[in-house]
Structure 1
C-alpha cells in the first residue's frame, strides 16, 4: 500500500505523508529504467526457463513436458513461450515445481490460516509486515508469537517503521521482552537508525514463513480492518462511507512445497542486509518434498539493489499477453511504460480489464488513479470500481495460466521506493481460481464506460489534474 494506509488515527498518517512529500522535493526524483526491449514481441523466443524441484534442476525433457502440459490446458501463449524465461532473466529466480498453492480470497480466511500455521510451529516463525496494529487482531497475534517463543520456537519479526507509526513502541517492546527478535525497518526517527537515514524506502512486504515448510504472501497486513468479510453484506446494510467503516477486500496465498525455501531466502536476505548478521539459529531450510503440481517463482524487489524486478516482470507479462489480462490494484500511479504495455495489449485484441477501488483510505490516491482513466478507456481497456468494500488486493491473472499475488501496487512508490514481494504461479487450475475471484469482484463492481466518464464534472477533473502534479510522492 502507499505511505499512509489502514490508519485509524489519520492525523499521524497525514503528518507522515507531509514529511515524505517534503523530503521528496528536497532529494532528486528517482526514475525507472528504459525497458522498451521487454515490449518487443517480434523478438526471438527466449530459451527454456530453469525449472527446479526438491532434488535440483529438471532435465530438459521433463521441463518441456511441464510447459507442454500447461500449453495443452490453456492454448499457445507468449506468456509460456517467451515471458517465462524472460522473467527468470529479470529476477534471477528459478521456477520451482511441485508446490501446493491455496488462494486466500479475503481477510478473515487469511488470518485464520496464518494463525493456525503459527500455532502448529515447532522450530521457527519468520514474519515480515508493513503494518502491525495494536488492535484486537494485532494483540491476538502478538500474544500467540510470545506464547510460541516461550515454548522454544524462534520468532523473528520485521516490521516497517512508517507502516507501524500509529503502533505504540511499547507494543513491540513487549515482544522483545518476551524474547522475540525484532527488526524495525528504516526507522522514521533518525536517532534509532544505525546507519544512513533512508526515510523514503519502506518495507511493504507481507511474508510469513513457518518452520521453513509453509509460506504466506499477498496484500494482507496485521490489522482489524481484515476482521470482516468483504463479500458478505446485509441487504439492509448501508454502503460504507469510507475506508474506516468498510470491510477490506484483499488477496493472500498459502504455499507448501520446495518454493517455500525461495521465500525464506528473501526474508533472511532482508534481515542480513539491515542488521549485518543472520537471525538466531533455527532449522531454516529443512528438506522439502513435492506437495502439489504448481510451478512457483518467488520475486523480491528492493531499491537498494536498483533491480526493479517486479516492475520489469509486469511490463514483460503484459507485453506477452495474448488473450486476457485481468488485474486488481489498490493504488494506481503508473509510469508511461506500464501504461503503454497495457494499451498495446488492448489494441492488439487482449481483453485487458482492471478493478480499481471506488473509495480508499487516502483520497488523493483515488484521484491520482482516475487521472489515467481517459487514456485507458481510449485504448479499449475495461475499467471497474469495486463497491461496498475497500479494495486493497494486488493481483493479476493472464491468459488463464500466469498469475501473481503480492504486495506490489501498480504505482511509482512500489516500483521505485519499496521493498516488495510477489509470488508468480504457473498453473491452470490456480489461474482458474484467480479468474473466478476476479469475476466475483466484477459482480461487486460498477463498470466505468467512456460515455459515463466523459460526463464527470469540472470539480472531479480539477482534482485529478491537481493530484497528478505531485503523484510521484504519494
Structure 2
C-alpha cells in the first residue's frame, strides 16, 4: 500500500514499512471522516478536500459526501478523527470508490491475475519480492501475454528483496516487451545518486488502467499460496505450504486508482527507470460508482517526517473507543509502545493480532520484548 524503508531507525521504519506495505490506505466508512467548515477549530493546520472522478467536487457536493459519512456512524467521533487528519495539513480524500478486502494469498492472486488478463492500456506492478516460480511465474506469463497484445507493462522490484531471483527471469520479461526496473540497485554505478544502499522499497502495488488497483502486504511469492491455516498457525488443507504465510491485500476501484498510479509513476521517474509507461485506458463506462472515501499516504526513505508512521501514531493517540491492528513484523519504537499503553490505560480497547512464528528472528523477539509492558497496561495480544 508497501513502502520504501531506511534503516536509520529500524523499529520505526520497519513498522511503518509493513503497515500496509508502503501505501497506507484509510478506507473510511463510519467514524473516520467528519465534515469540515464550522466543526473544525481554527488551530487546524489544514482543511478537507474531496475529489471524485472529475476532480475536486463542488462545496455543496463535498458537504453532502461528508455528511453522508457522518450519518453512518457517530458524529462526534467522526469530527474528532478528521481533526486528527488535518492537524498537520490538508486531508485530500477521494470519494466514489469501491473497496474489497482480500483476506489471503489465494484470494489476492486470483483477483490480481483476473485484473491483469483484462488490461487494455497498461499494467503497473511494484513489489519488494518478485520470485521466478509458482504464482510469480504465472503472473509473468500474464504480463508477457498482455505485452504481446500491445498493452504497456512495467514492473519495479527491489534489488535486495528479489536478490535470489535469477537475472534470466527479468531478462525474459524485458525481451517480451515488459519494462523492468530494479529499485536502488546494489551496484553503485547503477544506483540513483541520492538513494542510500539501505533504502529499500517495500511497496506492493498493482494498477491496471484506471479500472483497479491493489495494495497490501502480499509479495509476488509462492509463500502466500496457502489457502488455510490451523489453530496454531500450521497450514492445513490441500495446497497448503509448510513455509506459507498469510497476509492481506485490498482491491480498489474508482477515482483513487489513478492516484495510486501516480505513486508508481513518481517512483519510476525518481529511480531513473527506462521504458515507456504508456497511458491507462479510461475507466470502463459500465463501472458502478462506489460509496467509499479513501485517503492515500505514500512515503519513502527520504521522508524525514515519515508520514505513514506519524499518521498511525496520531490515530492511536486520538483513539477514544478502540484500536485494532495486525502486522507481519511488530518491532516498534518506544513512542509507539507508549501510545498503545496510554490508549489502553485511558479505557480504549486495544487489540493486536501478531504472528506466532516469523521468518525474522530479530523482529520477532524485538516485538515480544514489549509484551509484558503492553499486557500490564491492558493491551490484548492475540
Short-chain TM bin: 0.7 to 0.9
1:368 maps to 2:366: yes
Query: Any stretches of 5+ residues in structure 1 without a counterpart?
Result: 4-19, 34-42, 385-474
Correspondence for 1:165: 163
- SS of aligned partner of 1:50: strand
Larger relative helix fraction? 1
- SS of aligned partner of 2:354: strand
2:324 and 2:373 map into 1 onto residues whose CA distance is 17
1:355, CA displacement in angstroms?
Answer: 0.6
Correspondence for 1:16: none
1:309 and 1:238 map into 2 onto residues whose CA distance is 32
- SS of aligned partner of 2:313: helix
Correspondence for 1:458: none
Correspondence for 1:75: 74
Correspondence for 2:125: 127
Residues 147 and 178, structure 2, Cα contact 8 Å, conserved in 1: yes
Cα 1:72/1:338, change in 2 over 3 Å: same
Question: Pairwise mapping of residues 244-323 of structure 1 onto structure 2 (< 5 A)?
Answer: 245-275=242-272, 279-280=275-276, 282-284=278-280, 286=282, 291-323=289-321
1:89, CA displacement in angstroms?
Answer: 6.2
- SS of aligned partner of 1:357: coil
Deviates more, 1:124-133 or 1:285-294: 285-294
Correspondence for 1:103: 101
1:206 maps to 2:204: yes
Correspondence for 1:6: none
- SS of aligned partner of 1:133: coil
1:188 and 1:147 map into 2 onto residues whose CA distance is 30
Question: Pairwise mapping of residues 22-421 of structure 1 onto structure 2 (< 5 A)?
Answer: 44=41, 46=44, 49-78=48-77, 80-84=78-82, 86-87=84-85, 90=88, 94-195=92-193, 198-231=196-229, 239=234, 245-275=242-272, 279-280=275-276, 282-284=278-280, 286=282, 291-384=289-382
1:154 and 1:271 map into 2 onto residues whose CA distance is 14
Q: Number of paired residues? A: 348
Query: Any stretches of 5+ residues in structure 2 without a counterpart?
Result: 14-39
- SS of aligned partner of 2:161: coil
1:144 and 1:136 map into 2 onto residues whose CA distance is 13
2:92 and 2:171 map into 1 onto residues whose CA distance is 38
1:57, CA displacement in angstroms?
Answer: 2.4
- SS of aligned partner of 2:131: coil
Residues 83 and 316, structure 1, Cα contact 8 Å, conserved in 2: no
Residues 132 and 164, structure 1, Cα contact 8 Å, conserved in 2: yes
Cα 1:152/1:85, change in 2 over 3 Å: farther
Deviates more, 1:351-360 or 1:55-64: 55-64
Deviations 1:93-127 (A, max 9, x none): 61100001011011001000000000001110000
1:293 and 1:2 map into 2 onto residues whose CA distance is 25
Cα 1:86/1:60, change in 2 over 3 Å: farther
- SS of aligned partner of 1:249: coil
2:306 and 2:55 map into 1 onto residues whose CA distance is 27
1:346, CA displacement in angstroms?
Answer: 1.3
Residues 102 and 250, structure 2, Cα contact 8 Å, conserved in 1: yes
Residues 229 and 248, structure 1, Cα contact 8 Å, conserved in 2: no
Residues 218 and 252, structure 1, Cα contact 8 Å, conserved in 2: yes
Residues 159 and 184, structure 1, Cα contact 8 Å, conserved in 2: yes
2:153 and 2:53 map into 1 onto residues whose CA distance is 26
Residues 330 and 356, structure 1, Cα contact 8 Å, conserved in 2: yes
1:240, CA displacement in angstroms?
Answer: 6.0
1:30, CA displacement in angstroms?
Answer: 8.6
Cα 1:192/1:281, change in 2 over 3 Å: closer
1:290, CA displacement in angstroms?
Answer: 6.2
Residues 99 and 290, structure 1, Cα contact 8 Å, conserved in 2: no
- SS of aligned partner of 2:81: helix
1:230, CA displacement in angstroms?
Answer: 3.0
2:218 and 2:11 map into 1 onto residues whose CA distance is 28
Residues 129 and 206, structure 1, Cα contact 8 Å, conserved in 2: yes
